[in-house]
Amino acid sequence: MVRMVPVLLSLLLLLGPAVPQENQDGRYSLTYIYTGLSKHVEDVPAFQALGSLNDLQFFRYNSKDRKSQPMGLWRQVEGMEDWKQDSQLQKAREDIFMETLKDIVEYYNDSNGSHVLQGRFGCEIENNRSSGAFWKYYYDGKDYIEFNKEIPAWVPFDPAAQITKQKWEAS
Ligand SMILES: *[C@@H]1O[C@H](CO)[C@@H](O)[C@H](O)[C@H]1NC(C)=O
Ligand SMILES: *[C@@H]1O[C@H](CO)[C@@H](O)[C@H](O)[C@H]1NC(C)=O
Ligand SMILES: *[C@@H]1O[C@H](CO)[C@@H](O)[C@H](O)[C@H]1NC(C)=O
């Protein structure tokens, strides 16, 4: 998860002044949203990831295509080999994400039920430095677990999240 910032920074460096949404002081707000579904829904990938920079989507990935696809302006940037590398990174995240969702529905004895896990990660980037990073997950719309940088540790908000915390902190 920590790798997301370097990946984005390298993209920013490649783009340079081509990013139109740059604020006056060169600040960027970066957000990733991951969504996983426990039950198959026709035509909807079980896992999807979206990345936004200052509220403009710049990449998407899903469990059907397994490819990180640049969106918007980013499509026009050539020599973006990072997208291939990013596809592998997203695939690895998909695996962990879906395993976590499986753990939760198993904890609640509801493996056949229809549930949604969502992850939100982001930070502010200014002068090549990131700040205010956050990592938080929601299960069926409710707070599930959050990374607290001050401790630093995962803070569970749900009984099942104790298991997730143990897993993530052990690896
Ligand atoms: C799930 O089922 C097991 C075995 O039947 C039971 O011990 C456990 O309390 C159940 N968990 C929940 C969250 O209901
Ligand atoms: C899920 O559904 C299958 C088939 O309908 C059933 O055999 C199984 O017991 C169900 N599992 C749970 C955890 O409800
Ligand atoms: C960010 O780092 C790159 C490479 O080190 C440098 O060229 C660029 O000027 C830096 N940008 C800012 C805003 O500091």
Per-residue pLDDT of the chain (171 residues; tens, 9 = 90+): 333 444 455 555 444 444 444 455 667 788 899 999 999 889 999 999 998 888 888 889 999 999 988 887 676 655 556 677 888 889 999 999 999 999 999 999 999 999 999 999 988 877 767 788 899 999 999 999 999 988 889 999 999 999 999 999 986
Ligand nearest to the CA of 125: 3
Q: How far apart are CA 113 and CA 109, in angstroms?
A: 9
Q: Residue 125 has what DSSP assignment? A: E
**Residue 163, ligand 1, Cβ within 6 A:** no
Burial 45-60 (b: 16+ CB within 10 A, else e): bbbbbbbbbbeeebbb
| Residue nearest (by alpha carbon) to ligand 3 atom 4 | 13
Question: pTM (2 decimals)?
Answer: 0.79
Q: Residue 72 has what DSSP assignment? A: G
Q: How far is the CA of 47 from the centre of ligand 2 (A)?
A: 22
pLDDT in the model for residue 49: 95
